[in-house]
Structure formats: C-alpha cells, structure tokens
Amino acid sequence: MPTTSPLPPEHGGQLLCDRVIALRKKRGLTLDQLASACGVSRSMLSQIERGRANPTLAVTLRIAQAFGLSIGDLVDQPWTASTIEVVRGDDATHLFRDDRECRIRTLSPLHLEKSVEFYELRIAPRAQLYSAPHFEGTRELLTITRGSARVIAGDNECQLGVGDSAHYHADQEHTIENDSEEELLAFLVVTYE
C-alpha cells in the first residue's frame, strides 16, 4: 500500500493539482511566494500544479499549512476532514482584541479559508470600534444582542437596538459606536469577495 500520497490514486493527483492552483490564485500568490511560505521548492510546486508529481504526505502537509488548512481541508474530501470543529469560549488564542474599550473574539476556526469570518463583539459603554477600509468588496453583517449601537459606514449611518441587524459595505471607513450606558454585545459576520 503506497504511503506517499494522501489521496486515492485514481483521482487524488488531479484534485490536489486543481486545489493548489485555485488557492494560490485566490490569494494572489506567485509560485515563488508559495514556495517561500511552505518551504517546498518552486519546481516541485510547479510539477504538483501540472499534475506531474505525487507529493509525499510531508510535502502535502507543508502546502496545507502555508494556506492555513489541514490536509483534509486542502484536498476537500469528507473522509479526511473532521466533521465538527469547536471554538471554546475560554480559548484565549481566539481573542482578536481585548482591552478596556473593546473585546473581539473570533468564533470561526482560525485555519479556515478567509472568505467569511465570524466574531463576537463586546464594546464598553460610550466606546466605539473604528475600522479603516477593508479589501474591496468586503461587507459586514452586524446583529445586536444587548445594548444599542450607531453604525456609520461612509456617509451613511443607522441606529440599532436588540435584535436589529445591519448589512453594510466595509471597504470604506466604518464605525460601530456603543451609544448606551451598558456593554454592547453583538455578532459580526465579515464576508470577502
């Protein structure tokens, strides 16, 4: 039984080839940049992308890690990936920001391909979370679960209370202000084109 390929031989090579090309292009990486990130030679990556190399498990793992993925997620096969991932409430590695004005906790697994991100926001009374423009096409969906907020996105603004949601372009300056005397608790979904 061969141990050099993480995929079934009948279609694994082409699947890995297509996936590496798609991920590299989506992230705007050259072969040289990917080679530098994963420690695999440019020529080996080129051969993998052309379907002319059958990489070892160690090489496949290094490529997956460079994209922030597991091998199962890289090859996108249900039999190789875990079916449930848990982000624990007390996991400090998921704290994006934690100071007296604002606490942002990442609720989506950190290794996921970043086309969607999910956050829990806690903003102190009368404090605000200002954000510079994100990448073009970025949008945010904010839902308030406690308190009230004023959202400003470019020249537009709205007032939100408990249960309200706002969807806005985040590729412009935007601010979430807690305009109440209690802590604001909200959930934020960020999507990238």
pLDDT tens-digit profile of 1-32?
Answer: 333 343 344 445 677 888 899 888 888 889 99
Q: Can you give the pLDDT at residue 77?
A: 58
- Cα angle, residue 89 at apex, residues 148 and 185 outer, rounded to 5°: 0
pLDDT tens-digit series, residues 31-54: 999 999 899 999 999 999 988 888
pLDDT in tens, 159-168: 999 999 999 9
- 174 forms beta bridges with 131, 153
Give all domains of the chain, ordered by start, each with its CATH number: 12-75 (1.10.260.40), 92-191 (2.60.120.10)
Which two tokens mark 26? 């989506």
Report CA-CA distances (Å) from 10 to 5, 6, 85, 100, 176: 11, 12, 29, 56, 52
pLDDT confidence of residue 5: 40
Each residue of 125-153: pLDDT tens digit?
999 999 999 988 999 999 999 999 999 99
Q: How far apart are CA 22 and CA 26, in angstroms?
A: 6
Q: What is the mean pLDDT of residues 83-104?
A: 83
What does the mean pLDDT of the chain come to?
Answer: 85
- Which residues, 6+ apart, have CB-to-CB distance to 123 below 8 Å? 101, 102, 129, 147, 149, 176, 177, 178, 183, 184, 186
pLDDT, position 155 = 95
| Per-residue model confidence (pLDDT) at position 156 | 96
Within 10 A of 74 (CB to CB), how many other CB atoms are there?
A: 26
pLDDT grade for 182, boundaries at 50, 70 and 90: very high
- The answer to whether 147 touches 184, Cβ cutoff 8 Å, is yes
Tens of pLDDT, residue by residue over 50-93, are 888 888 888 888 898 888 888 877 876 554 555 677 778 888 77
Are the CB atoms for 153 and 169 separated by under 8 Å?
Answer: yes
